[in-house]
């Protein structure tokens, strides 16, 4: 289920601040996070933060998301939000999710998110890592991969045998112009053995921003249970980039 966060700063409770400072992820309820580096409408990089929380905590929630560099220095101002998720809106679902956007410059980061109930009595935190590409320096840059289920982004990485999933990603070009690049989809098992290998036609691309081509493809997962790795590779003949997403088929 989705939530509609308000992005204006709101005071984070004591429980929220304490959760954010925890050295390890955890807390009083289930909290999951996916980080995906993408390119905005103006071609600049951003980070899409997809959070999913246990439906049992639906109600008024405080959220804070902070970004740190390699030496754990805070980058920019933490994003603070107040969510108001009516319990009826998530009835029957195990979790609800929402997307936030960060705007750090290119680089490698640790992202920490904490969620607390309005009374501060229950809180949880999660930690993730993200590489934000620099298209100007790399000339050909590949965004992260968004995994979709039923057409919508999902934090799930565990699927049934033979499930259909969507993969969305972007390819950015330094000169602000679209160019022919080779885009390859690969699926390997946990031993590194290839299961599927296909070329993604450039005709599948949609102009997402100046110099940015967006791809949205559908794939069928294997019938056999196990752990797999989805890989997207792009190359313009001189430079190459790749992104991977681990998945499990039950």
How many Å apart are CA 245 and CA 223, to the nearest integer?
A: 18
Residue range 24-37: mean pLDDT, rounded: 93
Same fold yes or no, 14-132 and 136-249: no
What are φ and ψ of residue 214, in 5° steps?
Answer: -105, 140
pLDDT at 7 over 60: no
In terms of Cβ atoms closer than 10 Å to its own Cβ (0-12, 13-18, 19+), residue 228 is: buried
38-77 per-position pLDDT tens digit: 999 888 899 999 999 999 999 999 999 999 999 999 999 9
pLDDT band at 11 (very low <50, low <70, confident <90, very high): very low
Residue range 213-220: mean pLDDT, rounded: 95
Neighbours of 112 (CB within 10 A): 22
- Return the CATH fold of 14-132: Immunoglobulin-like (2.60.40)
Rounded to the nearest integer, the mean pLDDT of the chain is 90
15 versus 33: which is more confidently predicted? 33
Residue 174, pLDDT score:
73
Residue 177, pLDDT score:
60
167-177 per-position pLDDT tens digit: 999 999 876 56
DSSP string, 63-92: EEEEEE-TT--B-SPPEEEEEE--GGGGTT
Sketch the domain layout of the chain as residue ranges.
14-132, 136-249
How many Å apart are CA 47 and CA 130, to the nearest integer?
A: 8
How many Å apart are CA 167 and CA 187, to the nearest integer?
A: 12
- Domain formed by 136-249, architecture: Distorted Sandwich (2.70)
Q: Check: pTM over 0.85? Answer yes or no.
A: yes
> 3-state DSSP helix/strand/coil percent for the chain, to nearest 5?
10, 55, 35
What are φ and ψ of residue 239, in 5° steps?
Answer: -125, 155
Sheet with 182-189: list strands edge to edge.
158-159, 240-249, 226-235, 182-189, 194-200
DSSP at 235: E
pLDDT band at 6 (very low <50, low <70, confident <90, very high): low
pLDDT band at 89 (very low <50, low <70, confident <90, very high): confident
How many Å apart are CA 17 and CA 197, to the nearest integer?
A: 46
pLDDT at 10 over 60: no
Please report where in the chains the tokens 């690049």 appear, as a residue. Answer: 181
């Amino acid at each position: 289920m989705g939530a509609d966060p308000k992005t204006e700063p709101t005071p984070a409770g004591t429980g929220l601040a304490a959760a954010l400072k925890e050295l390890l992820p955890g807390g009083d309820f289930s909290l999951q996070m996916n980080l995906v580096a993408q390119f905005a409408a103006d071609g600049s990089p951003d980070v899409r933060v997809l959070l999913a929380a246990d439906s049992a905590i639906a109600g008024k929630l405080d959220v804070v998301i902070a970004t740190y560099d390699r030496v754990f220095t805070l980058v920019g101002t933490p994003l603070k939000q107040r969510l108001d998720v009516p319990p009826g809106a998530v009835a029957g679902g195990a979790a609800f999710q929402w997307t936030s956007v960060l705007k750090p410059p290119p680089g490698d980061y640790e992202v920490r998110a904490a969620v607390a109930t309005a009374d501060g009595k229950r809180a949880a935190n999660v930690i993730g890592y993200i590489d934000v590409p620099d298209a100007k320096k790399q000339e050909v840059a590949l965004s992260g991969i968004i995994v979709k289920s039923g057409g919508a982004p999902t934090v799930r990485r565990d699927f049934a045998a033979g499930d259909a999933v969507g993969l969305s990603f972007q390819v950015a070009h330094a000169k602000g112009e679209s160019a022919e690049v080779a885009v390859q989809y690969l699926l390997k098992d946990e031993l590194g053995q290839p299961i599927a290998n296909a070329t993604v036609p450039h005709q599948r691309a949609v102009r997402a921003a100046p110099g940015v081509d967006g791809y949205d493809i559908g794939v069928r997962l294997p019938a056999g249970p196990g752990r797999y790795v989805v890989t997207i590779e792009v190359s313009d003949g001189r430079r190459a980039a790749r992104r991977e997403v681990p998945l499990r088929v039950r």
